[in-house]
Copies of this chain bind each other. A is one copy, B any other.
């Protein structure tokens, strides 16, 4: 299977820092890899010889697919269920009763709806954290997305979750796009012993780990009182922090915590809309970047965002840092785009140059954007244009692992009307049995 993306305006995102370059060229894909990136039209023609699907990308922007490093995709079922109310009422009266009635099939349905939203918005990879992930391996495989599925546990559920993780590992065997991960919920909901047990399980099976870290002031207070440490110090002492760990949120981290996160090679998942909406706080992203930490972007779940839109996360991440530092030079558009692509690839466990860039040898996870829209014209700076004005709906075509998953804003093989109907019925059933 050969695919040529011809005459695109390419943002390769291959630069580690500074301004991102753009150029007009063509990209050749064989199987699931990019094998050619060229500005030479003759070379592109030569590639296409002997049978090759060609997409004319004239006037379109071609860039790496976006990578969402923290979400709870199945919670899409609970979107807008209980907004603008206090946290404990939200959990006690809405989220927990709903989840108690949810079946694995409901979770698959929520996952499918969440993936449909993500892929239509140019997200090609996501890192999930929820229950019944073993039951969702096939769901993700069918959608054609790339994912790290994090089996999440509290103290009470660690045994069943590790058993489910074993099943998930089996289910994902041979599925190159899907990886399994261990996901202890947080330092304030999982004991030190069970955090360590999860980490050992992850190491034994060669899996990454993810954990909510320093999300709220309450968490910092709890961990300080119980362990006399910050959440980052506590997790570090327990041996959870290394290059195989994603620490989600990191809102309340001090200078020493930042140095630790950077030194251990932990990936930070910044979830700016969620942190704002549920009043968690403003993460010190500028300081984390300057301190050498790898920062990526996540949407969090649909109950606290309320959508799965990385364009908005890029924009607001940049804008909020400019506000909290009171310096408009902080967090350039280029940085935001790097966070949402190549940095995200590192969080997913991919090596430099393997994902999140448009480069020969990289996996073919790519998106095409139509910039002939009033809100994207004129184009003075293409990266600023996309990061500060681009929208999920501007994504026209999505290629994952060399396969065209979205074309002209239609998802291959998915009937959305039927999906909405099934989602509506599932929600109605859950509500009626409360």
**Residue interface mask A289-324, B partner, CB < 8 A = 1:** 000000000000000011111001001101110110
Contact among B323, B377, B416, B427 for A279, CB-based, below 8 A? B323
Interfacial chain B residues near A319, Cβ < 8 Å: 273, 276-277, 316
- Interface size of A by CB at 8 A reads 66
Q: Say yes or no for A42: interface residue by CB 8 A criterion.
A: no
> Are A322 and B392 also in contact (CB < 8 A) when A84-B328, A86-B329 are?
no
Q: Is the CB of A275 within 8 A of B384?
A: no
Q: Is the CB of A391 within 8 A of B392?
A: yes
Interfacial chain B residues near A423, Cβ < 8 Å: 377-378
The docked-state distance in angstroms from the alpha carbon of A113 to that of B374 is: 6
Q: Say yes or no for A79: interface residue by CB 8 A criterion.
A: yes
Closest chain B residue to A272, Cβ basis: B319
Interfacial chain B residues near A96, Cβ < 8 Å: none
Closest chain B residue to A121, Cβ basis: B375
Q: Is the CB of B384 within 8 A of A84?
A: yes
Q: Say yes or no for A81: interface residue by CB 8 A criterion.
A: yes
Q: Say yes or no for A408: interface residue by CB 8 A criterion.
A: no
Q: Is the CB of B328 within 8 A of A372?
A: no
Interfacial chain B residues near A372, Cβ < 8 Å: 416-417, 420
Q: Considering the complex, which residues of chain A in the window 164-207 have a beta carbon less than 8 Å from any beta carbon of chain B? A: none
The docked-state distance in angstroms from the alpha carbon of A265 to that of B127 is: 49
Q: Is the CB of A113 within 8 A of B377?
A: yes
Q: Say yes or no for A327: interface residue by CB 8 A criterion.
A: yes
What's the least CB distance linking A68 to chain B, in Å? 13
Q: Is the CB of B281 within 8 A of A326?
A: yes
Q: Is the CB of A427 within 8 A of B378?
A: yes
Interfacial chain B residues near A375, Cβ < 8 Å: 117, 120-121, 307-309, 392
The docked-state distance in angstroms from the alpha carbon of A275 to that of B322 is: 9
> Are A79 and B389 also in contact (CB < 8 A) when A113-B377, A372-B417, A416-B374 are?
yes
Q: Say yes or no for A52: interface residue by CB 8 A criterion.
A: no
Q: Say yes or no for A388: interface residue by CB 8 A criterion.
A: yes
Q: Say yes or no for A385: interface residue by CB 8 A criterion.
A: yes
Q: Is the CB of B276 within 8 A of A384?
A: no
What's the least CB distance linking A416 to chain B, in Å? 7
Closest chain B residue to A334, Cβ basis: B84
Q: Say yes or no for A424: interface residue by CB 8 A criterion.
A: yes
Q: Is the CB of A329 within 8 A of B276?
A: no
Interfacial chain B residues near A278, Cβ < 8 Å: 322, 328
Q: Say yes or no for A157: interface residue by CB 8 A criterion.
A: no
Contacts A86-B329, A279-B328 known; 4 new A-B pairs at CB < 8 A: A79-B378, A79-B389, A81-B380, A83-B333
Give 5 A-B contacts (CB < 8 Å), ordered by A residue: A79-B385, A85-B329, A279-B327, A306-B384, A393-B393
Q: Top 8 A-B pairs ranked by shortest CB distance?
A: A393-B393, A276-B319, A117-B374, A80-B384, A116-B374, A306-B388, A276-B323, A81-B380
Chain A contacts to B: CB under 8 angstroms:
77-87, 113, 116-117, 120-121, 273, 275-279, 281-282, 305-309, 312, 315-316, 318-320, 322-323, 325-329, 332-333, 372, 374-375, 377-381, 384-385, 388-389, 391-393, 416-417, 419-420, 423-424, 427
